[in-house]
Structure 1
C-alpha cells in the first residue's frame, strides 16, 4: 500500500516538531523527563499508524525501536536505554495541554503543507489544478464528539475550516455548551488568508453579517446554502421560475453500491426578478441530487444556494464542484475520523484530551492525504507494524539499523 503513495523525502517536508515546540508545556518542571514535543510527536506517529486510544498510542511507543525513539527526541535513561512515555504520562499531557495552542500548531503545519502542494499544482491525490475550479475552496463545518458526553457534561463540539482538496484542517475551535456554531464562525476564520478563496458552509452560517465580512473584510467569495433559517430568502429563491431555467451542468457517479446523479441550475440575481437582496450575492443556485442504492428506493433532494461569484468567475461546473466539495467533507474527514479512528466510540472526556485527540486525527488524515493516500484505513494498516514508516510523513529523518543489532 505504501508503494502507491507519492515519494516521501523527509528533508523536503517541514519538521512537525518545530511547530510543536511553540506549545507551552503544562507540566511542572520538577520531575520532568520526556520533552513535550517528543511526546506529541509519538502521539502524531501513532495516530498515522491507526492508534485510536491513548493506550494504543503508548503501545506504539513501546513497539518502537531505540533508534526511532532517539530520532523523536526521547531522552536516554541513566542506565543507557530509552523508554517511551507510559499511557498515564500521555493521558496527563493531553488532558492538561493548551488545546487552542495545539490546534494552532497543527493547523499551521497543515496549512504550510497545503501551500506547498498547491504551489506545485498537485493536491496530493494525483489531480492537478487544471482538474479543479480556479479558485481554491475552504469548507466550514462542525462535528460533535459523541463519546465525550457524560451525565454531568454534554458532548464536546468542534467547528473546523477544511480545505476542499486535499481535506486538510486549517483551523479548529471548540464550541461551548451554551453557544452555537454561528458565534464562532468569524473568529474561526480570523487568522486565515482568505483573499481569492471561496468559503462554503451550511445554512446555519448563512447570515448577512458573516457574508459581508467575508467579502469586504477578507476579500473572499462564498457559496452559502439556504434553508428555513432564512425564510424570506428561501421563499424568494424557491419561488423563482426554475421550471423554465435550463439545466446548466450534470454529473453522474457510480460506486460503493450506489448510483448518484446531480444537476445544477444557475440564475443571475439581476435576471431573477424576485427582488432578492442579499449581501454581495450575484448568482442563485438550485442543485438537485438523485441517489439510488442497491435494493433501496431512490431518494431525491433539492437544495438552494447563493454565491458572491459572478458568471465570469465560475462556470456552472465550478459551482457544482464547490457544492459537491462541501458535501464531500463528511466522507473525506468526518467519516474517516468516526470509522477508521473510532472517534465516536472514543470515551476520552477529561480536560483538553477530547479536542487534542481530534486534532491528532486531523493531523494524521492531513499528512496521509497530502502523501496521496486514497484509502486511509489501508494506509494505517500498512504502517501499523512498522513504526519507522510513520516518521517521514512528518518530516522527521530516520535511518533504520540494518545491521540487526
Structure 2
C-alpha cells in the first residue's frame, strides 16, 4: 500500500498547516518599498529579487551571506523565476552571486528594510494577537558581537518585539556615541500603540520618554525602577509592603533550578502623595526566590510602576507581562543559536543590521505559522528551496518586474 502523501512532508512542516496562497501576505509588495541604493547602469537583478532570495534563504536557515548564495545556487529555474530573477537573452537564468548579495546588503537602507519587515510581520494578524487581547510590546537592545573591528565598535540594535510570538515590529541601529534611550521615541513613533502595553527595563525608565508614550502615543507601560530613578525607588521601597498580602504566585522548574515569583501591587493615587514618576497608577513589588542544584537559595526583590489602574489589569496579568518582557531574550537566543548571529563576522556597511532583519523576518514568520522549533523547521525547508515560496506568499508566476 503506498504511503500517504502527508507522510512525505516532515512533521515540523505539518504543524504549519495547509497554506492558502491567497491568504498569505506577499512579501514582494513590502520589499518593493525599499529604495534601491545602486546606480541604474549595470544593474541586472532587481533589488526586490535579491531581497527575496535573502528572505527565502533565511527561512531555510541560512546563517551567513555565503549560505544565502549557496541557497540561491541550489534553487531551480522555477524558484528563481518565482522570486523575479530575470532571464538572460541567451535563455539561461543565473542566481545572484555571493559578491552581488553582499554588496546589496551592505548598501541597503536599513531603516527602510526594517520598516518593510515590521509591516509584513504585522500584516497577516497584527502581532499575532486575538482582537480582544491587549497587545504587549517589549523594548530591548542587542549587540552584534562579531561586527566589531579595530576601527569600529560592535553594532548595537534596539528592537520593539511583541510578547506573543516574539514578532519584531521595529528595529533601529544605535550609534556608538549615543545610548539606547535617545532612540526610544524614534523606534516607537511609526507604530500604532493606542491601548498597547509597553514593557522595558530600568535603562529606559526615563521620565520624558514615558510621558511621551502615554500622552502622545496613548499607550500604557510597565517600567522597572532601579537606582537610576533614586527618588521613585526610595518611595517604592518605603511603601507598606509587609501589610499587603501576596496577590499572585507562580513556580517554574528548568535549567537545573526551581524558581518561584510572588507579586504585590499597591495603588499610588496622586491625592495620596503619588510616586515621582509620570502617570504611575500602581506600584508593583516582585519577589523572586531561586534555588539551583547544590547551591543555596537566592532572593531578589524588583520594583516597578505601571500606568494601568487596578480596574484595567490584574496581578496575574502584570506578573505575566513582567516575565514576558524576556521574550525578547528568547528571540535573541534563537538568533544566536540557530542562526549563529554572535559568531557572524559580517561588518561592512548595513550588512550586519540587514542580516539581523532577515533573521527577525524568518523567526517571526515561522512563529506566526505555528512553528515551535525554529531550528528543525528551517532544516526541513532547507532541503527543498521551493518550500520557502508559499511561506512568503510568493506565487509560482514570474514577478512582472523581473521577467
Within 5 Å, give how 1:377-392 maps onto structure 2: 377-392=375-390
Within 5 Å, give how 1:309-348 maps onto structure 2: 309-331=308-330, 333-348=331-346
Superposition deviation, residue 257 in structure 1: 4.2
Q: Is the 8 A contact 1:240 1:272 kept in 2?
A: no
Q: Distance in 2 between matches of 1:319 and 1:310?
A: 11
After superposing the two structures, state which structure 1 stretch, 9-18 or 358-367, moved more.
9-18
Secondary structure of the 2:171 match is: strand
Q: Distance in 2 between matches of 1:205 and 1:219?
A: 18
Q: Distance in 2 between matches of 1:92 and 1:238?
A: 54
Match of 1:50 among 58, 61, 74: 61
Q: Which residue of 2 aligns with 1:223?
A: 222
Q: Which residue of 1 aligns with 2:25?
A: 14
Secondary structure of the 1:235 match is: helix
Superposition deviation, residue 323 in structure 1: 0.4
Q: Distance in 2 between matches of 1:272 and 1:53?
A: 57
Q: Distance in 2 between matches of 1:116 and 1:262?
A: 27
Q: Which residue of 2 aligns with 1:30?
A: 41
Superposition deviation, residue 174 in structure 1: 0.8
Superposition deviation, residue 294 in structure 1: 4.2
Q: Which residue of 1 aligns with 2:258?
A: 259
Q: Which residue of 2 aligns with 1:126?
A: none
Q: Distance in 1 between matches of 2:127 and 2:231?
A: 43
Q: Distance in 2 between matches of 1:387 and 1:293?
A: 44
Q: Is the 8 A contact 1:236 1:274 kept in 2?
A: no
Q: Which residue of 2 aligns with 1:103?
A: 114
Q: Is the 8 A contact 1:8 1:371 kept in 2?
A: no
Does residue 206 of the first structure (1) align with residue 205 of the second (2)? yes
Q: Which residue of 1 aligns with 2:76?
A: 65
Q: Distance in 1 between matches of 2:356 and 2:393?
A: 21
After superposing the two structures, state which structure 1 stretch, 50-59 or 233-242, moved more.
233-242
Match of 1:363 among 361, 377, 385: 361
After superposing the two structures, state which structure 1 stretch, 148-157 or 284-293, moved more.
284-293
Q: 1:37 to 1:316 in 2, by over 3 A?
A: same
Secondary structure of the 1:10 match is: coil
Secondary structure of the 1:380 match is: helix
Q: Distance in 2 between matches of 1:11 and 1:300?
A: 52
Q: Which residue of 1 aligns with 2:3?
A: none
Q: Which residue of 1 aligns with 2:162?
A: 163
* Structure 1, unpaired ranges of 5+: 122-128, 400-405
Secondary structure of the 2:286 match is: strand
After superposing the two structures, state which structure 1 stretch, 316-325 or 285-294, moved more.
285-294
Secondary structure of the 1:142 match is: strand
Q: Distance in 2 between matches of 1:140 and 1:169?
A: 10
Q: 1:85 to 1:159 in 2, by over 3 A?
A: same
Secondary structure of the 1:59 match is: helix
For residues 20-69 of structure 1, the C-alpha deviation after alignment (integer angstroms, 9 at most, x for no partner) is 11111111211211111111001011111111100000000111111111
Q: Which residue of 2 aligns with 1:88?
A: 99
Aligned length: 386
Within 5 Å, give how 1:128-167 maps onto structure 2: 134-167=133-166
Superposition deviation, residue 297 in structure 1: 4.6
Superposition deviation, residue 274 in structure 1: 6.4
**Coordinate RMSD, CA, aligned:** 1.8
Superposition deviation, residue 6 in structure 1: 3.5
Secondary structure of the 1:259 match is: strand
Q: Distance in 1 between matches of 2:293 and 2:217?
A: 45
Q: Which residue of 1 aligns with 2:183?
A: 184
Q: 1:113 to 1:300 in 2, by over 3 A?
A: farther
For residues 201-230 of structure 1, the C-alpha deviation after alignment (integer angstroms, 9 at most, x for no partner) is 111111111111111111110001111111
Q: 1:267 to 1:37 in 2, by over 3 A?
A: same
Q: Distance in 2 between matches of 1:116 and 1:159?
A: 18
Q: 1:256 to 1:395 in 2, by over 3 A?
A: farther
Superposition deviation, residue 397 in structure 1: 2.1
After superposing the two structures, state which structure 1 stretch, 266-275 or 189-198, moved more.
266-275
Q: Distance in 2 between matches of 1:76 and 1:173?
A: 36
